[in-house]
Amino acid sequence: MFSSERLKGIDVFVCVAETGSFKAAAERMNLTGSAISKSIARLESRLGVRLFERTTRRISLTDAGVAFLRTCTGVLADLEEAELSLQAENAEPHGRVRIDLPGAFGRSQVLPVVLRCLEQYPQLVPHISFSDGFIDAVQEGVDIVIRLGGAEVWPDTLGHRYLGREWHIFCASPAYLARHGTPLTDLDLEQHRCIAYGWRDGNFSPWNFAGRHRGETLRKQVSPKLVVGDGEGLVAAVLAGCGIAQLPSWLVQRQLDEGTLVEVLPQLATDGMAISLAWQKSREMLPKVAALLDVLTTSLAQAAGGPAQRL
């Protein structure tokens, strides 16, 4: 006969395995480190095997731990799915959902979508963070991630979806073009003040140009008169009439519509980074996560002109 004793400690074990430390697991589960350690010790004693190898710096799963984790993850997923199936199909998505977004893109393109989503699902409680680098969604407890660029290979723990691609254009202010003229070819840019994106180490990004053949992209190093290490800072510099910059169209669409910026060399515009949506597979059936995935997929794909299109 099945005993409830067999379930004790499984959630703690899975959390420790996912986060990689007793301390991180304790923080996620709102328990003390001592409680986590004792729970794992009792579980190992009951099973008669060591689940973790412990050193002063880190812990790692034993072979038995790896096998047990695979089984436990499946059991917990089945339990969660069974619980969800008992809920009414029209159950209102509710509760906290953690979302991590890239800085400028997240603020201008994704945050408004999430805020509109709250009108439809008022019981949702989004916790939104902004970071441009890679994060471990499972370890940090993040439900949904949007990234520009994205990984070549996504971890098995994450589902992912390609939403579209940036469209990089050259632009300048009307005042700058009135003073210096409008470039007609890429060679003309050598006579203009170029503004480039740069990093703390002093390097700066080359510009991409559409080639003669369809889908061809040429990279060319420019000699910038100004280097700025922030997309919104680049926009400010171009608006101030400091020169010409290559920017993603989503970042300057409002200024283009208002006429405060003008696109130049449209024939040389080219693809930018891919836009990807990722999420924890173990949580994708939760109504609060599923609802946001649907809204973000639809809204951002439409903004980009549909799947595999540009933004």
Report the CATH number of the 95-165+273-303 domain.
Answer: 3.40.190.10
State mean pLDDT over 178-183. Answer: 96
Architecture of the domain delimited by 166-271? 3-Layer(aba) Sandwich (3.40)
Tokens standing for residue 39: 């729970």
Assess whether the region 4-86 and the region 95-165+273-303 belong to the same CATH fold: no
User: pLDDT band at 6, cuts 50/70/90?
Assistant: low
Q: What is the pLDDT of residues 181-192, one digit of tens each?
A: 999 998 898 899
- pTM for this model (two decimals): 0.66
What does the pLDDT look like over 194-241, one tens digit per residue? Answer: 999 988 888 888 899 987 777 678 888 888 999 998 889 999 999 999
Length of the chain equals 311
As a whole-number percent, the residues of the chain with pLDDT over 70 amount to: 90
3-state DSSP assignment of residue 201: coil
Find, among 218, 232, 156, 231, the residue nearest to 189 by Cα: 218
CATH, domain range 4-86: 1.10.10.10
CA angle 271, 275, 276 (to 5 degrees): 145
Domain boundaries, the chain: 4-86, 95-165+273-303, 166-271
Q: How far, rounded to the nearest angstrom, does the alpha carbon of residue 257 sit from its chain's CA centroid?
A: 27
CA gyration radius, the chain: 25
Mean pLDDT of 144-163: 85
Say if residues 109 and 249 touch (Cβ distance below 8 Å): no
Round to whole Å and give the CA distance between 89 and 254.
Answer: 40
pLDDT band at 307 (very low <50, low <70, confident <90, very high): very low
pLDDT of 5 higher than 80: no
Q: Is 103 exposed, middle or buried (0-12, 13-18, 19+ CB in 10 A)?
A: middle
